Structure 1
Amino acid sequence: MLLSNFMITRVKEMVIFLVLLYIASSSAVVVGKQSNPFPGEELQVEAKLRLLNKPFVKSIQSEDGDIIDCVDLYKQPALDHPLLKNHSIRISPSFDPTNGDSSTPLILNYSLPFSQVWRRSGSCPDGTIPIRRVLKHHLLNASSLERYGKKNTNVITKRDFRMLEHTFAVGIENYHTAAALITAGYSYIGAKADINVWNPRVEADDEYSTAQIWLRNGPFNNSDSIEFGWIVNPSVYGDRQTRLFIYWTNDSGKSTGCFDLLCPGFVQVNKDILLGGTIYPTSAFHGQQYHISLEVVRDFDQNVWWLISSTDNIMIGYWPCDIFSYLYNIAVIVEWGGDVYSPRMHQEPHTATAMGSSNFASDHWSFACFIHQPRIKDYSMTYKYPYPSFPFTPDVNCYSGENYAETLFTEPLFYFGGPGRNLYCP
């Protein structure tokens, strides 16, 4: 049954309020530094490197500067998690990944799937997984050794909570802004999309820009989140290349979770896809477009959330549900779009870190970044267009989002992005 205009308005208000809460609870501060370690810190850095870098079967020097270690599948970081000490690794899901998928094939002209640079230099043997080696300069560029690979949370007071409804116009916190298509209020057990790939400018080492999908559940300021897509993040990777990433937390990032495999949690099973690996090529203005097709879906028989490269149904790995509280069963909010983090988000001058392609959403095809065929899966076990769903763009002078269809009565693309600092975003 179609929703009335009144009901749609109320749902939209509910979605916006819920999203404000979740963004507040999962906001992050990443403050980079450029310095040489003092004598005591040198020992701490070496100890941290030994903790992060697992013994490897084979090592690959990638032409993009990364060193990739092929680590035994059964000696990967995930199994250090206290809840996974006796975990039996799942190699494949209990379901057919194509079963119940009602989405149509990719219909965009000149949009091609992604590749990764490291594969030009070699491959990992069977029974291993590729892990990007953490080097000393990566740690020295982070805000702290303890927070390397994590997001630092911003604590929100009770007074802030009461004022959330009144701070929508300027954003509810000072470090992030998003331009996203959002759906909420139902039980979601899967989400997917094709995410257009670009290489936006990131102005400072302590800033980052993403294009991604979020799945969330949990109460204000203590929520669970799964995130995946592409990112430019100098504070984690030490450069400004576009990279495939994942992220998770079960407490809004206060003490748990991380990017990629930089802490125990995510179990990787694929030997050919590198989390944190450079994506190539990236899209060009008025030229060839590239995308990544990613999906997360709940496997109730195995009690995990599978991450899938849905172009060819490659199982990358999974998050065991045991590491979550509120995402143990379902998500209640799903988002598709872009996120920019900067300590200077609402200062003057505003950061010039770009989102998406760096162009505003209104520039459309081959100029603005897009989400193609966003889908949610519910208990019907069928992928559907998210309805109702709404663009969420709090800083419209800096970054924007728009659902736009070239032809009437066809499914829109969700375009998003922006340059950050400009004439109207000083």
Structure 2
Amino acid sequence: MEVVKKEVILLTLLCFSLRDVLVDGKRKITAMDKEDAVEKKLKLLNKPAVKTIQSEDGDIIDCVDVYKQPAFDHPLLRNHTITLRPSEEPFTKAANADSNSSANLAWQVWRKSGSCPEGTIPILRIEKRHLLNTNSLETYGRKPRHGVTKHEIHLPNKTILIGVEDLNEVSVLVGAGYSYLGIQARINTWNPRVEASDEFSSAQIWLRNGPFRNFDSVEAGWIVYPDLYNDTATRFFIYWAAGANTGCFNLLCSGFVQIDPSIALGARIDPISQEWGDQYIIELTIWKDLKDDDKWWVAYGRTTFGYWPASIFRGLTKVGTVALFGGIVYSPRMKQQLPHTRTAMGSGRFAFDHWGQAAFIGQPRIMDYSKTFKYPDPGQTFSTHTDCYSGENYAEVQFTEPRFYFGALAGTCTASKKDPLRILKCNVGSYFIYTE
């Protein structure tokens, strides 16, 4: 009898163990499994360092041999020969283009703590804490995709279609041409409130080509994204996509080839603009080298720090057809009706608050086969949800080039749709009445 009892107990324990391991006939991922998977992912992401820098903001920067960077894990780049500089750098001075030149260039915090030697590139170290809370190690570093919604943009001489990812709100200046070879802008830096860790807020420039539901994209700007970086700091980023399921931020997958030791992708930006205080910008350029047209180069200020080989794309192998300047808010809780997420775009102020309060894009530029950067004309402002996020081209001084101001929603907003008047109330302290 005692033997039978022991067998029953052992069988019961075995059943409970199997229940923990098998769910619906599939193996359940245990805590130990996830730890192992995280360790493997960390080894893949973090390359051996020649030198390590502990930044005062808590970031760890690894100086990695330029020939051992993540780019060469890409199957199309395993025999790639690095190009150390473009044949030419089409930077513009645009000395009189900005009607208010009191914005200063923001830089990266880690530079105060050291520098990487020549022949290496700085890579922000990914730590275990960055990966433990991610929903999927496989898609870590990639923007969430939940489908794409078609929007019509009415330009003076034509109507174009652009795709906006579902669960995204955007406020942008749109340029739509035939052959864009570059994009450039000065992006005002802020630290917007992000309501939940799986949401993000960014200010950026980007070039696209391809079907609106499955486009290619190259992007650069600043972002606040707690799930990706495990904090709410404003950080510099680049991003690329080749269709819906390929691409990533920074160096979190293979594809981008970095050549310069002074720019760390994903590092914190400093200083940040203050309301009615000093204003700071990052100046970014993405362009195609016409003499070596198989690369999309990227520069921060006047520092060209790397490129995407055109071979990793489908639609962007030659040119871009849509240029976008502005802000994005992503939230998995985004709703078509109000209220939805209170995550702020830009500074958390509406576009009409202008200089010193609203975020802006200064000197937006596109480059075509003329090989010179020019204002995107025709251009059109577009916002997916004007009750909560707005955009406006506005020049403080008459007969000068406008800035594109954008942003809002640091709190709850409601809209009353009475008559032709709509009253927009937001607890950030603005009351705005406008006619449709």
Tell me, in whole angstroms, the C-alpha distance in 1 between the residues paired with 2:372 and 2:164: 35
Q: 2:209 aligns with which of 210, 214, 217?
A: 217
Structure 2 letter corresponding to 1:74: Y
Q: Quote how far apart the aligned CAs of 1:383 are.
A: 1.1
Residue in 2 aligned with 1:368? 358
> 1:236 is aligned with what amino acid?
L
Residue 333 of structure 2 corresponds to 344
The 2-side partners of 1:120 and 1:174 are apart by 39
2:345 corresponds to 1:334: no
Once residues 401 and 223 of structure 2 are traced to their aligned partners in structure 1, the CA distance between those partners, rounded to angstroms, is 26
Unaligned runs of 5+ in 2: 1-28, 153-162, 416-425, 427-436
> Which structure has the larger Rg?
2
Unaligned runs of 5+ in 1: 1-35, 166-170
Residue by residue over 1:278-335, the C-alpha shift from the partner in whole angstroms, topping out at 9 and shown as x without a partner, is: 001100000000000000110133220110123xx21111111111111111000000
User: SS state of the match for residue 251, structure 2?
Assistant: coil
- 1:73 is the counterpart of 2:63: no
- Corresponding position: 1:245 with 2:234: no
| Structure number with higher strand proportion | 2
Matching residue of 1:319: 308
The one-letter amino acid paired with 1:339 is: I
Per the TM alignment, residue 382 of structure 1 is displaced from its structure 2 partner at its CA by 1.3
Give the superposition deviation at 1:41.
Answer: 1.0
Residues 102 and 384 in structure 1, CA contact (< 8 A), matched pair in contact too: no
Question: In structure 2, what is the equivalent of residue 16 of structure 1?
Answer: none
Tell me whether 87-96 or 359-368 shows the greater mean CA deviation: 87-96
Aligned AA (1:43): D
Identify the residue that residue 136 of structure 1 maps to in structure 2.
128
How far apart in 2 are the matches of 1:345 and 1:199? 21
- Quick one: structure 1 residues 243 and 172, their matched pair in 2 at CA, closer, same or farther if it must change by over 3 Å? closer
Asked if 1:287 corresponds to 2:277, the answer is yes
Equivalent residue number for residue 33 of structure 1? none
1:44-80 CA-to-partner distances (Å, cap 9, x unmatched) read: 1111111111011011111111111000000000111
Once residues 127 and 172 of structure 2 are traced to their aligned partners in structure 1, the CA distance between those partners, rounded to angstroms, is: 34
Residue aligned with 2:349, SS:
coil
Higher alpha-carbon deviation: 234-243 or 146-155: 146-155
TM-score (norm 1): 0.84
Cα distance between partner residues in 2 of 1:174 and 1:366: 31
- Choose from 76, 83, 88 the match for 1:83: 76
Q: 1:363 to 1:37 in 2, by over 3 A?
A: farther
DSSP-derived class of the 2:76 partner: helix
Aligned residues with identical type, % of pairs: 54
Deviation at 1:173, TM superposition (A): 5.8
Among 278, 296, 299, the residue aligned to 1:305: 296
The one-letter amino acid paired with 1:224 is D
Secondary structure class of the residue paired with 1:40: helix
Contact (CA 8 Å) 1:141, 1:238: kept in 2 or not? no
Q: Tell me: higher relative CO, structure 1 or 2? Use CA pairs within 8 A at least 6 residues apart.
A: 1
Paired positions, count: 376
Contact 2:41 2:137 in 1 (8 A): yes
| Bigger shift: residues 242-251 or 414-423 | 414-423
Alignment of 1:154-165 (within 5 A): 154-155=146-147
2-structure distance, mates of 1:424, 1:286: 26
Equivalent position to 2:225, from 214, 220, 233: 233
Decide whether aligned partners of structure 1 residues 392 and 348 sit closer, same or farther in structure 2, where only a CA change above 3 A counts: closer
Shift of 1:89: 0.6
Match of 1:82, SS? coil
Rate the CA distance shift 1:333–1:58 in 2: closer, same or farther, 3 A.
same
- Write the deviation string for residues 354-392 of structure 1: whole angstroms up to 9, x where unpaired: 000000000000100001110011011111110000100
